[in-house]
Amino acid sequence: MNIDELKKQLLDCLDAEELDNTRILSLTHQLANFDESKVRFSVDAGVIDRLGQELVARQETAVSELVKNSYDADAQYVSLNFFDSKDIGGTLVIEDDGLGMSRDDLVNGFMRVSSTSKIHEPRSPLFNRQRAGQKGIGRFSVQRLGRKLTIITQTKDSDTSLKLVINWDDYSRDGNLFVVENKLEIIPKTKINGTTLIIENLRDRWSKASIQRVYRYVSEIITPKFLSEEIIETENDNFDVEFFEVNQGKKQKVADSSIMLYQHAVAIFDGYIDDLGYGWLSINSKRLKISNEKIHIGFEPEDNKSAFPNIRNIKFKVFYFIYDSELISKTHSTSIRNKLAKEGGVKLYRNGFRVLPYGEEGDDWLRLDESSRRRVILIPHGNNNFYGFVELADPENEFNETSSREGLIDNESVRELKNFVHRALVTAVMRVGAARGTKVTTSQRKDGKNWEDIEFRIRNIALSLDELDKEFEGEEKKVTRRRVVKKLKKDISELKVAHEAELKKTIQERAMLRVLSSVGITVSQFIHEIKYYMDNIQSDINFLIRELDGKDEQNACLETVKILKNNFDSFKNYTSYFNAVVSANLVRELSPLNIREIVHSFISSMKHDAERLGIEFLPPKFNKTFLYTKSMHPSEWSSILFNLYTNSKKAIAREKINGKILIECGESDDYIFLEFSDNGDGIKEGDELLIFNEFFTTTSAVSFDNFDSSSEVAGTGLGLKIVKDIVKSHRGNIDVVSAKAEFSTCFRVEVPKANDKELREYGL
């Protein structure tokens, strides 16, 4: 089409009664291309898809960005409903009660690629929140998640709602971004204000674990939900998020603050001072089987039933966390630790309003950090081990704030308050320590082995009580002592049972480790001994091929020998990998390893074995050329990759499909990561954490009698435990993460990357 024809068509469009804006844009763009003295950038519509994949690599990141956008819009509540999303093609509905969007916000904000609104307005208009979402990520997040998006939004001042529908498949390659149109219509208002996102035809599967992972990503901006109603009513700037699964019409809550934070507390401490001034402490712990255990906290240390003279109607509720793998899984421990590092401690509320700076980061108003540093009491009890609040009902103004609003004026009431809460929390954590059987105080004796050994927990309980007497100057009386002794007898009986179970487990584990050690030695000997025979077999096969080649009457024999040669080549490749591992073990030096070379070597060795089983290794992906881990031994990565591979083989064999395996590697913050994906039968929901426990397996035979020696899907339940131990020994992480569209399982391994000093030392 020449320039005159374009002008004529453009004039016809402009003269029409109803303007065809898309046509006008297209003609104008074509006319501009005839400008011989000037050129302009054009944008292919496919850029939306490419940016969605590159800017938002993981589905969890995409959803977390949308939740953060609700936070930026001054929402106080967000619900996320995943409809039939365990398989690809489900629907996600995100609904918030934020400010909503006007037509201008929608057109010049959401629909404008790389808008600058968050740069010009770094804080939200209503609650003055610091923007949490990343600039420009939201629109690409919804594209990354599903093929169709419907936005329904309304502001408080509007009389109607806006409905925008986007089909992301319209943004195909070889099209012009500016001429793709999306339907925008005005509909009756559905609520006062807020926005609803309906994302249909989801591109990924969503397991319960992946949904909970999104919650952890946004947990830093969520307001505590355990506050009393009086506090919640005065705290306008609240933000809460709930996640639901809806499968076959049945709705189930998957993640909220209770499920993701509070249920991981070791114990819950409740305390109060009643109308008469008597102090009480209540301890509850399902893990430690402590149920509503009540302890008096008196004003006088020597009299635990003495009343506090100046304070009344005070209560507190505190969640207590210990970052021990036996108590909190690594998956949750990191997110909880990060959250409490910023928001941990005990907040103070007076007549429903927050009193600053109590409980802020760095504030130690209860001297918990100071006590923890002194190391007299060894149980963890710093501010980042607690998450809770103290509430004052102060109608008589016994607690007055300073003129600068920076805390309470120091007086007897304030000192009694601090004394009560501090002593109550210290008493509570010592009780928890005694129940766990760990060393509580510096005066306890170590009895040869670790403090965690069950055999010595019984003695430690008695020593803890003696130390508690000294610490609080004999506050327990004879009647109370008798009650404590009775409780101790019960604890001792339970400990005996626990000890027997632990001993049985240890014997079982040691026996299996001895077997594995013997197997390792046997494999090494086998690899060494067969080298000579393999050379002879290879020579004989080559001789037969030379002799039979060209003889028509021997064609059938020749084909058989060629098949034998291919099988033998596969066998040599397979054994060469183990030979390299055994040889590498002779060199004990650790050095930074380029994960790219490790992966290519592994795939090269395992490719023939995989092809024999109908499994395809897809080309590995790397986000950088050089991906050096911290100093490690090559055999460690050999063990990691081989165990992940054998797990994939089992899963693919059970699924009975043509298998696919993809390895993706890259650098993320201070870590080198490796993601190992397969399209096997997946991991049963609820087993994501159990699979890393020793002896946990879904494939072992029932007994030796019915064990099929030819089966390749039997396991000992130690492979992933070995992988986890290797990764943990290098301060790394291993988790089951959401698999991409065509895969069912994905393991993500993270190990620290090599620092500059290591790279210089090894000339890398």
Name the burial class of residue 458, with classes exposed (0-12), middle (13-18) and buried (19+) by CB atoms within 10 angstroms of its CB: middle
pLDDT in tens, 240-292: 899 999 998 899 998 887 777 788 899 999 999 998 999 999 999 988 889 99
- Between residues 377 and 509, the one the model is more confident about: 377
Task: Return the residue matching tokens 């004039």.
Answer: 11
The model's pLDDT over 15-31, given as tens digits with 9 standing for 90+, comes to: 888 877 778 877 887 78
Mean pLDDT for 516-532 is: 60
Under a CB-based contact definition with an 8 Å cutoff, are residues 622 and 596 in contact? yes
What integer pLDDT is reported at residue 746 of this predicted model? 93
* Cβ-proximal residues to 57 (8 Å cutoff; 6+ apart), any chain: none
- Burial string for 150-166 (b: 16+ CB within 10 Å, else e) reads bbbbbbeebeebbbbeb
- β-strand pairing of 146-154 with 194-202: antiparallel
Q: Is the pLDDT of residue 639 over 50?
A: yes
CA-wise closest residue to 329 among 750, 737, 735: 735
Residue 397 confidence (pLDDT):
77
Helix/strand/coil (H/E/C) assignment for every residue in 491-527: HHHHHHHHHHHHHHHHHHHHHHHHHHHHHHHHHHHHH
Residue 228 has pLDDT above 70, yes or no: no
Could you tell me which residue, 668 or 133, shows the higher pLDDT? 668
- pLDDT in the model for residue 405: 60
Query: 310 or 222: whose pLDDT is higher?
Result: 310
pLDDT at 232 > cutoff 70: no
- Give whichever of 80-94, 347-361, 709-723 has the largest mean pLDDT: 80-94
pLDDT at 511: 64
With pLDDT > 70 as the criterion, what percentage of the chain qualifies?
78
CB distance 145 to 62 below 8 Å: yes
Does residue 525 carry a pLDDT above 60?
Answer: no
pLDDT at 231: 52
742 or 189, which is more confident? 189
Band (133; pLDDT cuts 50, 70, 90): low
Which residues are CB-contacts of 90 (< 8 A; sequence separation ≥ 6)? Answer: 82, 83, 84, 202, 206
Give pLDDT, residue 129. 84
pLDDT of 700 reads: 47
The pLDDT value recorded for residue 707 is: 41
The pair of structure tokens assigned to 18 is 């109803």
Cα Rg for the chain, rounded, in angstroms? 33
Predicted confidence (pLDDT) per residue in 427-437, tens digit: 999 889 888 87
Give the start-to-end residue ranges of the domains of the chain: 3-32, 48-260, 265-476, 499-586, 590-761
Sign of the four-CA dihedral 707, 709, 713, 719: positive
* The pair of three-digit structure tokens given for residue 187, joined into one six-digit string: 């509909």
In the chain, the amino acid numbered 358 is Y
pLDDT at 481: 56
Helix (H, G, I), strand (E, B) or coil at 738: coil
User: Which range among 117-131, 221-235, 408-422 has the greatest average pLDDT?
Assistant: 408-422
Of 569-573, 634-638, 711-715, 751-755, least confident by mean pLDDT is: 711-715
* 201 has pLDDT over 90: yes
Contact in structure between 68 and 78 (CB atoms under 8 Å): no
Report the distance separating Cα 388 and Cα 368, nearest Å: 13
Q: For position 10, what pLDDT does the model report?
A: 82
Phi, psi of 661 (to 5 degrees): -130, 135
pLDDT of residue 193: 96
Residue type, 184: L
pLDDT digits (tens, 9 = 90+) for 414-471: 999 999 999 999 999 988 988 887 655 555 554 444 444 454 455 455 544 554 454 4
| Residue-level pLDDT at 324 | 81
Q: What is the pLDDT of residues 563-618, one digit of tens each?
A: 787 777 767 766 666 665 555 555 557 889 999 999 998 998 888 889 888 999 99
What is the reported pLDDT for 16? 83
* Cα 509 from Cα 503, distance rounded (Å): 10
Which residues are CB-contacts of 644 (< 8 A; sequence separation ≥ 6)?
676, 723, 747
**Does pLDDT of 353 surpass 80?**
no
Res 477 pLDDT > 70: no
The tokens of 171 are what?
A: 């943004």
Cross-strand pairs, 441: 377
pLDDT (0 to 100) of residue 118: 67
| Residue-level pLDDT at 615 | 94
Lowest mean per-residue pLDDT among 30-39, 467-476, 529-538: 467-476
Strand 621-622 and strand 386-392: pairing?
unpaired
Tell me the sheet residues that pair with 736: 747
Beta bridge partners of 377: 441
The average pLDDT across 358-375 equals 89
Spelled out in words, what is the top-level CATH class assigned to the domain 590-761?
alpha beta
| pLDDT bucket at 663, cuts 50 / 70 / 90 | very high
* Residue 431 identity (one-letter amino acid): R
Same fold, 48-260 and 590-761: yes
Average pLDDT, the chain: 80
CATH of 48-260 given 1.50.10.10, 3.30.565.10, 3.40.50.720, 3.30.70.20: 3.30.565.10
Mean pLDDT of 291-304: 86
